[in-house]
Amino acid sequence: MNKARDARLISEGTLDFMKKILERSGLGDSTYLAEAFFRERYAPSSKDSRKEVEMAFFGSIDKLLAKTGVRCEDIGILIVNCCIYNTMPSLSSIIVNRYKLRDDVVSYNLVGMGCSAGLLAIGLAKQLLQVHQNTYALIVSTESITENCYIGEDHSKFIINCLFRVGGAAILLSNRASDHHNSKYQLLHTVHNNTSRSDRSYSCIHQEEDNVGTVGVTITKDLLVAAIATIEANLTALGYIILPVSEKLHYIVNYFVRNLLYRYKIHPYIPNYSKAFDHFLPHVGGRPVLDALQKTLGFSDTDMEASRMTLYRYGNTSSSSIWYALAYVEAQGRVKKGDRVWQMAFGSGFKCSSVIWRAMKSIDHDDNNPWTDEISGFPVTLEKCEPMPVFFEPANKK
């Protein structure tokens, strides 16, 4: 707030809006911004953006390789995702060059895919590992906020500034039989869906210029409606795969009763997904989205704890947020052998992805866990605050 005020690039009215968003977003005071934001004047360069991305890439990959002992020449698949920042050579090429990956590495560079891209990459890697045998797939997720701060007066474009922060993650998947006993998780299912055919979903988050030509990412009042509609479609597909028979039967009976006795306005039955999972880790998004998701699914505060604490401590780090949430439950020592972990990520398009893992062993935190030095102070009690100073259509409206 002080830097924004001193820079005098935005009006007092927008500064007041910024303050209210920050106070009610669910973010704490320890999240990370890029170096360019702390200079006397915000004037980032492409070099600054690259520096931010390389910091996230190299830091996470170096730790991953050191922890697993995997050699760079054994990596056969590389998938990199970063939504809004793109460069040439590609981000995947930066990693290939830095780590001297082999010439025949299968590499993909995903851009513009939003916060769900990290789990979309898992789905892509799963398919590639079915074709390429006895190899490793390296997935790297990050976002660059350095050059993507909106400096203007359109409040619908200013929300992004207040929610997104610096972060990154590297994930290693293997189909090598020798890694069966070394792996932390077994990948069970991936479910992806996309509602971009709907104009309402397609337009709820989009990049455009404002009326004076300043580029920003607009978030419209339809965000919650689009998000919940897309998530519900993902849940339906997921439910067929993982819900116990009792929950499926309950849902089917309720469906037919509601249609036969439609005059009585019987409420639809929401399956108890907690019977199929031990840990639920939705993308952090922002506080209004987490609130709407919790209400829709009927989940407890404990179910939502990892995501809310991740939002508080790290902010929305886009596609890597989901991995900070997983690191949280690991650092708390809650992941036991055989536990099922459900990660859900959603973002612009509108898209939603679910990934289901089974823990191969009981997992505790280690020195490479980002929560290690401060997990004893969590969970923190989040203060109740007024609604966001933005109008969103209620998620129960279609």
Domain limits, the chain: 2-179, 185-377
DSSP string computed for 163-215 = HB---EEEEEEE--GGGTTT-SEEEEEEEEEE-TTSHHHHHSEEEEE-TTS-E
Question: How many other C-beta atoms are found inside a 10 Å radius of the C-beta of residue 6?
Answer: 10
Position 386 scores a pLDDT of 82
DSSP label at residue 269: P
Dihedral angle over CA of 45, 51, 52, 58, nearest 10: 160
Single pTM value for the model: 0.94
Position 396 scores a pLDDT of 65
Question: How many other C-beta atoms are found inside a 10 Å radius of the C-beta of residue 115?
Answer: 29
The first and second tokens of residue 320, run together, are: 């890597």
State the Cα–Cα distance between residues 41 and 159, nearest whole angstrom.
Answer: 20
Q: Please say whether the beta carbons of 226 and 201 come within 8 A.
A: yes
Strand 279-282, strand 340-347: pairing: parallel
Per-residue pLDDT of the chain (398 residues; tens, 9 = 90+): 888 888 888 999 999 999 999 999 999 999 999 999 998 888 999 999 999 999 999 999 999 999 999 999 999 999 999 999 999 999 999 999 999 999 999 999 999 999 999 999 999 999 999 999 999 999 999 999 999 999 999 999 999 999 999 999 999 999 999 999 899 999 999 999 999 999 999 999 999 999 999 999 999 999 999 999 999 899 989 998 999 899 889 888 888 888 888 777 788 778 888 889 999 999 999 998 899 889 888 889 999 999 999 999 999 999 999 999 999 999 999 999 999 999 999 999 999 999 999 999 999 778 889 999 999 999 999 988 888 888 788 876 44
- Does the bond joining 350 to the residue before it have cis omega, within 30 degrees of 0? yes
Strand 185-194, strand 351-359: pairing: antiparallel
Find the angle CA(290)-CA(295)-CA(313) to the nearest 5 degrees: 25
Could you report how far apart the first and last alpha carbons of the chain are, in Å?
Answer: 37
Position 398 scores a pLDDT of 42
State the Cα–Cα distance between residues 80 and 167, nearest whole angstrom.
Answer: 14
Domain 2-179 and domain 185-377, same fold? Reply is yes
Where does the chain show beta strands of DSSP type E? 75-81, 106-110, 136-142, 168-174, 185-194, 205-209, 215-219, 279-282, 340-347, 351-359
State the Cα–Cα distance between residues 190 and 209, nearest whole angstrom.
Answer: 35
Q: Looking at the domain 185-377, which fold is it?
A: Peroxisomal Thiolase; Chain A, domain 1 (3.40.47)
DSSP label at residue 383: P
The first and second tokens of residue 316, run together, are: 């929305």
CATH code reported for the domain at 2-179: 3.40.47.10
Residues 6+ apart with CB under 8 A from 50: 87
Q: Which amino acid is at 278?
A: D
Q: Please say whether the beta carbons of 358 and 339 come within 8 A.
A: yes
Q: Please say whether the beta carbons of 169 and 221 come within 8 A.
A: no
Q: Angle at which helices 155-163 and 12-24 pack, to 10 degrees?
A: 50
Position 397 scores a pLDDT of 47
Q: Which amino acid is at 233?
A: A
State the Cα–Cα distance between residues 14 and 214, nearest whole angstrom.
Answer: 15
**Reduced to 3 states, what is the DSSP secondary structure of residue 274?**
helix
Position 272 scores a pLDDT of 85
Which among 209, 350, 224, 381 is positioned nearest to 290, based on CA atoms? 224
DSSP label at residue 1: -
State the Cα–Cα distance between residues 377 and 252, nearest whole angstrom.
Answer: 44
DSSP string computed for 114-131 = GGGHHHHHHHHHHHHHTT
Position 385 scores a pLDDT of 81
State the Cα–Cα distance between residues 19 and 350, nearest whole angstrom.
Answer: 28
